Structure 1
Amino acid sequence: MTEIAVKTRQNLQELLKKNPQIKSPNRIYVGQHIEIGKQTNTYTVKKGDTLSAIARTHHTSVGDIMRANPGRINNRNLIYPGQKLHLPVQEAKTPTTKPKTTTNTPTTKPTETKTPTTNPQTTPDTKTLPPVENKPPVVTDGTESSVRSPHLKLKSKDIQLSPLVQKKMSQIADEYFKKTGKDLVITDGNRSAHDQAERIYDKIQHHGENIYTNKKALAEIKAAYNEGAARGESREQIVGRMARVIQNQAGRNVFISKHLTGQGADVRISDMTAADKKAFLESVAKVGGAHKLNEGNHWHMEIDENQKPPVQSPPTTTTTPTQTTTAKNGELKLGPNEEYRDALLLAQKRTGIDAAAVASVINAEAAVNPKTGKWIANSQAGSSGARGLTQFIPSTWEGRAKVKGSYLNEVALQRGLI
């Protein structure tokens, strides 16, 4: 059996599981049928390849290739040069070779010549979803894999970036280094369905799942969470349920996060000064092709190669910047208060309240520097004790900090204030 396992490129234990009729790997006989199952070959994707072309060349189907690569391919149109794919080949049953005989020991026939039947309980259920493999999907940018900038660091060697993200974030990192002399640190990149399920599980535990904008997809994932919780399942069992839902969604071309399509990355923000943050925003704007969102301890980046760098407006000659205003359709114009854009958009994402409306409230409530036009973050009313950009009184701040699921509650918990 060991020799057969080697020839068919399988693990001996896996081969034995397929053949429960074999009690000992050292005792097999001539004519006995052994189930080998589907074997796979490895193929390296080349520039210009498509799944349909690969399938035709290797006499298989796109569906079979996708089933042979769970977690590696979430979208049939998202493969990239250098990616390793398993290609299924036809199932086969291989007889064993004849055993060696000695001159002084006669061979005897086996007592039973019929092929033993397998236990029907071991037959896989074809209706169940394929196992979720903990390997992230990737996306192609139409070019060969790009070289990562020396100024783009990965927090962990396990983090993977698609060529599209690596190229864009390297450009941003180079610009950022020119301005600050510092490197950018990536804290997360591509995610598998299992990776994403773990993130959402933790969000649900802390009532922070509303950060996801695709509410329909989120509802499906939460239903799996609730079902597992109702059954008293462990964290890993519930995460597995959620991961299968996410994998199923990917098969329908529905993705709750850009991390699943190789178009997302997170950048560490905790060690950035105010000047560093400004330099980062300027670098992103200059390079273009990326959306950013401040999620507290990191910038969440979504890469869109079709997005063009913004046209820079010529500097104005006025000494006092314009105040924050809202334009048609809730367009956000912040003027000198541009540094608050990501916080306002995050608030909009979490609450559903238009960011421009929140900005208008701040503009009415907060004190403003008469020379720069900037909001004064530590504004404080002398009589009521109201403070901050939105002028909450102390009891209101405390009350909001205790509301589960609010951003203030998450920060207060992290800092041990409540």
Structure 2
Amino acid sequence: MPHSVPFSFDDLRRWPDLEGPDLVAVDAADRLILDESEAARAEVPEGGLVVVDDAYGALTLAAAAAGAHGIRVHQDALTGERALEANAARAGLDGTFTSHPLDADLLRDARVVLLRLPRALRALDDIAGLIAAHAHPDVVVFAGGRLKHMTLAMNDVLRAHFDRVDVTHARQKSRVLVARGPHDGADPQPEAATVDGLEVRAFGGVFAGASIDIGTRLLLAHLPDPSDGAIDFACGTGLVAAAWALRHPSVRIVATDRSAAAVASARATAAANDVGDRVEVVRDDLLASRPDASATLIALNPPFHSGGAITEGIAPRMFADAGRVLEPGGELWTVWNSALQYRPALERLVGPTRQVARDRKFTVTVSTRR
């Protein structure tokens, strides 16, 4: 392999994702994956290394700094892709990798795969099946994570697609599963269900799967009619967008999410409900692709996690961007866990806010853009 170049984890940033003192760009699981895979990576030909769900570039850039080139990378979050690009530019490692969708071309003839274990077993099954279907028969998968997020069921999922799964010693509350001997490969297919008259499609790892979570159900029961289009912000499986499009056949809806799996799910949901021609699904960082003062109606069920970290910091950023995109008098309809008390932030970042509905756990509010 080519010679290595200087690289420091200390230079990695999460930007454009949320940053803060307790939000890290690299952790012990990244370091353990790299250490356990070092010998295998040293033997990989150019183009034979694949990295999946590298949060902010630690795995990709450390491998590139050690001499790997032609690295293929898939990151579910668009913010992760952009963080990797920015971190690569600062490290002088541009051109050592390419970003890909989670598809056959990503894994074709891969010899070594570095994987941050997803928390959802269905997401892991999607990834493991894809590796088994398209990687080289001698592929070795180094799948690591933090012990608090790992379960024995992950071993079983990997064994469904690999002959051998070895478990490394734990280090700094992290562990790596090493899988060899791919078999029973399959391309990911969305889970399908019919819920409250809506067809729902969900690829692994998307919030609520092929169901309607109770917060979204409450929001759907109170949403107004979109007169000239609307935005389903952080759309997940795209249920809100599909419901709006079904109720109002003349209206076009935009659905956005930063997650590639969510975008694929929302497109599949729209197609299953025969509204794919009127629902535009966009992978976006917040609403960055939407012009200022361009929308009259936005629906939002904000997440409370950024990557693997639970934080209340992401919702205010979403409120602020919704406020930017709404025209004066436009409305943001939000459902949120009542314990989070988002109303002051909505008042400050969007405009006057009133409660529309509340049950034992969730609150629906409408905020009018000043």
TM-score, structure 2 as length reference: 0.24
More strand per residue: 1 or 2?
A: 2
More helix per residue: 1 or 2?
A: 1
TM-score, structure 1 as length reference: 0.22
Structure ID, larger Rg: 1
